[in-house]
Amino acid sequence: MRDKIGQEHGRAEPVGGMPVRTGRAERCHPGTLVACVLVPTFVAAACAFPGRAEPDAPIGPAAGTDARLAVEALQRAETDLEEGRFEDAVSAADSLYLSWSRDRSLESLANRALWLKARALQADGLLGDAGSTLETLLGRAEAGPIRDEAVISLAGIRSQTGEPVRAADLLLDNPTANDERQRDLLRELVPGLSLTQLRGLAREYPASSAAAAIVHVQLAQLLIVEDEPDSARRVARRALEAPPDAAERDIATLIAESTGSLREGTVRIGAILPLSGRFGGVGQLLQEGLELALDGYRARSGEAFTIQLVVRDDGSDPERAPALLTEFEREGVVAVIGPIRSESFAAALRARVNPRLLVLSPTATEVLEPTRNAYTLYEQGRLDRDVAADLADWTAGELGLLRAAVLHPLDRAGRSAASAFEAGLGGTNVTVLASSAYNPDSTTFKEPVETLAAQEPDIVFVSAPNPRSVLTLAPQLYYYGLDHSIILGTSAWGDPAVLRRLARNDGDYRIIGLWVDRTSPGTPWQRFALDYERKYRKSLRENILPALSFDAMQLILAALDDARLPIPAALSAYLERRPVLAGVTGQLETDPTTSTIRRSTQIRMLYDGQLVRPDRTRLLNWLTDARVAAVERRERERDRPPE
């Protein structure tokens, strides 16, 4: 487990006073230097560089005038670094190190040159080269400020480059004069380690110091999560012998003395919302949903945990999300709700240090980077695909009709939903006769509708992105020839605004796939709307935003109810088991592989302007009557004398 630091790396000798550059390793993303201001300490230590470092020891008389000139050369290289000339700084520092490394009287200067080179490489984003340089430095330098900074910087690099165990091992194996900083780094690092990794570190480093106790206490917490309470208590008791710092001592004492579930103290849940700026109204609605969910939890359970909701305003600025998530991590929240936009959701997850910290966005419409223990409740593509697939399954199993067609928007979401519907019919007796695309921004859809009508389909899957598109499209389906086909519509067809305005011929006997039914009596939505209006003394107006945040909080509260210990690992482990929760916005099931929420589609039939359960007999009778009416209409048109 222990690092073997100090092996010399092969280096080219300087030619003509200038060094030969070593090969470049991986480079940080161009935004790293800015991002490092926002992320926790160990990342900042890896990307930012400290100020000028003094020699480990004064320069002795043996160095003479050459030492003074050497210091001046180092100072010039420092200036290059401070002014952003990273390659110049690396070249100068490397050349000085190679000149001094074999002269024991100049050892401290050689170490300073290596330290400068490492910082310049870090600043230039060359973490691989910087790590190699720091390893060489740690193999040479005696105890002192430069060595202490090198340990912290190298731990940060290893953490950034996907080597958290080696980072923790380095910190535990190299205690420094500033041990408090190292312990802070460990506290940020160990929550992301697995049970196996923590056990390995605990075996290598017995709980004989406050730093090692951090590992042992984290191990004890994960043992509680894994339902090994006896082992957890043994580990916690050993940690108390260290002795640990206050932060670890309180947790270790609680575990060591526990007899069952650990439900003491206050649990903090964070929320990143836009309470001001352009989206301030959205943030307010989302906060209302969170508070309503907490009211219900307290009334229902007597508040098994004491919960504190901490809301931070991002000012409608998506770039503030990473810093706010970092603040929450440092404050020890067990989960974070938000941010609300796809870009800020992804950015916050990139800044997250503890991969077990649960992050739920109520409204991110797209998952840019699927990430473990992160979910959005409103991924539009997922919603459309699931509804389309479930409609296909229902059609094949319930109707017994064999001729289908597809009408979908030109955009990516529309094509995705159409593909999901067609894939759902694969392996059945239903044949897709034709598929047409339409521009949802257009006002007439004659050509794509008539193309499908010419095929005489029994059923037509019609995907629509929003209520406005449905209201424009629906009458044209009837007018251009799809008046005797059963229309299968996506969720926008069931929007309350659509139901109020559709004419009978445009609406009745449509089959609609919904992930939330907002109009039928006795649904979870109706109960939620009543509770909302009682609490806030205003109409919900069918606004789905408070319900989405309500369900996000419900997922966290369900995870807390399942937890033996209120820590991020316990909550994330619960949701990774894909539990099913009856939410306001549908039957919720987490999908860890896509960072989305799966909802069971509710199949409804439009009849007399209302959503009702589908009646197969009534549907097929209507289809027969509609076909007869269509034949009679065509005959009348054929027999009509020309004008």
pLDDT at 67 over 70: no
Per DSSP bridges, beta strands 486-489 and 511-514 are parallel
Q: Can you give the pLDDT at residue 521?
A: 84
Locus of tokens 């042992």: 216
Single out the residue of 300, 269, 280, 295 nearest to residue 536, CA to CA. Answer: 295
Rounded distance between C-alpha atoms, residue 223 and residue 199, angstroms: 10
Q: Give the Cα-Cα-Cα angle 200, 198, 232 (nearest 5 degrees).
A: 110
| Residue 34 predicted with pLDDT over 60 | no
With a cut of 90, say whether residue 158 has pLDDT above it. Answer: yes
Tens digit of each residue's pLDDT (9 = 90 or more) over 494-548: 998 898 888 776 778 899 999 898 888 888 999 999 999 999 999 998 899 999 9
637 pLDDT above the threshold of 80: no
pLDDT on residue 507: 74
- The mean pLDDT of the chain is 85
Q: Is the pLDDT of residue 48 over 50?
A: no
Asked if residues 594 and 370 have their Cβ atoms less than 8 Å apart, the reply is yes
Cα separation, 553 vs 297, whole angstroms = 10
Beta carbons within 10 angstroms of residue 147's beta carbon = 19
Instruction: Please give the helix or strand (H or E) that residue 558 lies within, else none.
Output: helix 545-562
Which segment of 170-184, 390-404, 560-574 scores lowest on mean pLDDT? 170-184
Confidence bin at 54 (pLDDT 50/70/90)? very low
Section 25-41 average pLDDT:
36
Query: How much is the pLDDT for 41?
Result: 40
Digit-coded pLDDT (tens) for 107-131: 888 999 999 999 999 999 999 999 9
pLDDT in tens, 443-491: 999 999 999 999 999 999 999 999 999 999 999 998 999 989 999 999 9
Instruction: Give me the pLDDT at residue 553, please.
Output: 98
For residue 15, is pLDDT > 90?
no
What pLDDT sits at residue 285?
97
Per-residue b/e over 282-295, b at no fewer than 16 CB within 10 Å?
bbebbbbbbbbbbe
E strand or H helix that includes residue 29? none
Residue whose pair of structure tokens reads 């923790």 in the numeric block: 168
Residue pair 119/81 in contact (Cβ under 8 Å)? The answer is yes
Residue 232, both tokens: 């957890």
Mean pLDDT value of segment 247-263? 76
List all residues 6 or more positions away from 211 whose beta carbon is below 8 Å from its beta carbon: 171, 172, 175, 179, 182, 183, 186, 205
pLDDT at 339 over 80: yes
The residue-averaged pLDDT of 126-150 equals 93
pTM (predicted TM-score): 0.76
Q: If you average pLDDT over residues 22-46, what whole number do you get?
A: 36
Distance CA 239, CA 217 (A): 6
Share of the chain above pLDDT 90, in %: 62
The predicted model gives 389-406 an average pLDDT of 94
Instruction: Tell me which of 3-17, 54-68, 326-340, 601-615 is least confident.
Output: 3-17
H runs (alpha helix) in 226-379: 229-239, 246-256, 280-301, 321-331, 342-351
What does the alpha-carbon distance between residue 257 and residue 481 come to, in Å, rounded to a whole number?
75
**pLDDT-based confidence at residue 328 (cuts at 50, 70, 90):** very high
Query: What's the pLDDT at 304?
Result: 66
Average pLDDT over residues 151-171: 92
620-635 tens-digit pLDDT: 999 999 999 888 877 7
Q: How many CB atoms lie within 10 A of CB 69?
A: 11
Closest of 479, 504, 507 to residue 495, by C-alpha? 507
Task: Note the pLDDT of residue 305.
Answer: 77
Average pLDDT score over residue span 311-334: 94
Mean pLDDT for 268-279 is 96
Q: Is the peptide bond before 40 cis (omega within 30 degrees of 0)?
A: no
pLDDT at 5 over 50: no
pLDDT above 50 for 17: no
- The pLDDT assigned to 306 comes to 85
pLDDT in the model for residue 537: 94
Mean pLDDT of 84-97: 93
Give yes or no for residue 1 having a pLDDT over 90.
no
Question: Confidence band (pLDDT; 50, 70, 90) for 251?
Answer: confident
Q: Binning pLDDT at 50, 70 and 90, where does residue 260 land?
A: low
DSSP symbols for 483-545: TTSEEEE-GGGG-HHHHHH--HHHHTT-EEEESS-SSSTTSHHHHHHHHHHHHHSS--TT--H
